[in-house]
Amino acid sequence: MMAASNCTTAFCMQFLAQLANVVVDNNHHHHSAHSSIRYRPTGPSAPAISPLRFNSYSSIGSNIHGLNSLMLHPGSIEPPLTPGNYRLYSMRFCPYAQRVLIYLTKKNIPVEVVNVNPDRSPNWYLAKSPLGRVPALEINGKVVWESNVIVEYLDELFPSNSILPRDAYEKAHQKILVERLSPLMNALFEFYSSSSNHNAQRQNDANVHSALRNAENLLRDTFYGGRQPGFADYLIWPFIERLQLLTLTQTSTQFRYFPGLHYPKMGAYIARMQNQPEIKFTSRPLSHHKAYMDSFSTAEIASLKQEIAEMYKTLKLQREPISKCTKDLIAYCDDHLKEDFIVKTMIQSPDLPANPYIPRKCNLI
């Protein structure tokens, strides 16, 4: 089982949200409700608690509204929610939120997406999700969180097109597959959280190869769900999508293309998954993910280190080593910058944030 750990969207400060908005607005045309991809899924029957009318959506993803809405921070006003409407609280680069978006898209459930900062959430969101985590699903004041819980909840609410098999054994087998494929998730976290030295990168490559061998051996049909994508495919895909970033890193990784010649079944599988309408709609180009990571460039880090140095001068702590984070400094950060995690992380790791890619409070289940 994948070890749970807290991860943060320290990179989801306002400047990064604005960066993402520019990238999305300029390039991400395939998320438009007017997408040229034509797809007519069967609309599910609505549960008793929802008065929503399910339309015959002619374009994949046209049931999703607000996918690229601005991120909400402390002080942001809660958007009004129409009774009976579904709302997904998300963060655009969170793989766990993407799981739920894939499910909602496939099941053709109308939903409004509200993007929130999981690291520094508005107070009204903390009242809904006490840990401030995303994703969370709300309807009529009832909130469910944890990505794997949400998708099962959706299948219970809309059983007519359940993605999890109704047969108890097949359902259990799909859940087991998710557990057995967890090394792919672990490999992603380890690759982006470990040191960049040569030995660490060799170990990371070995971990990725081990995870791919495991995934190759477990793929015994067209998809992990059988002849069609299923529960296991949708829950593991967001991590496979991001693992492809290995080919764009400047580190000593041996991956020049993904997954490589040693994994022919996985290569064909990835191509098939990328062709699924619900995957096309919810996936983001690697260039977007890379831009997200590149926002933690050396220049940004140097700028933050300079701000820390200035704070030390203000507090007359010039003689304190930069590697020590004093209570006074953190109090100053809390009062003035409101970005204490960035400062703490920078002091703990002067070169790069401990984990610049995976958000701390993005669900790890």
Q: Which residues are catalytic?
A: 94
| Residue type at position 183 | P
Backbone angles phi, psi at 347, to 5 degrees: -75, -35
Rounded Cα gap, residues 153 and 225, in angstroms: 19
DSSP code, position 60: T
- Would you state the structure tokens that stand for residue 301, as one six-digit string? 């880090």
Nearest to 274, CA basis, from 243, 301, 240, 247: 240
- Would you state the structure tokens that stand for residue 221, as one six-digit string? 């049909």
Nearest to 260, CA basis, from 190, 186, 187, 208: 208
* Residues 133 and 121: beta-carbon distance below 8 Å: no
- What is the torsion angle, in degrees rounded to the nearest 10, for the CA atoms of residue 256, residue 266, residue 291 and residue 38? 130
- Would you state the structure tokens that stand for residue 21, as one six-digit string? 């908005």
- 3-class DSSP assignment, residue 325: coil
* Residues 317 and 326: beta-carbon distance below 8 Å: yes
* Residues 288 and 296: beta-carbon distance below 8 Å: no
Radius of gyration of the chain (CA): 21
Rounded Cα gap, residues 114 and 161, in angstroms: 25
CA 328 to chain centre: 34
Contacts of 19 (CB under 8 A, 6+ apart): 291, 292, 295
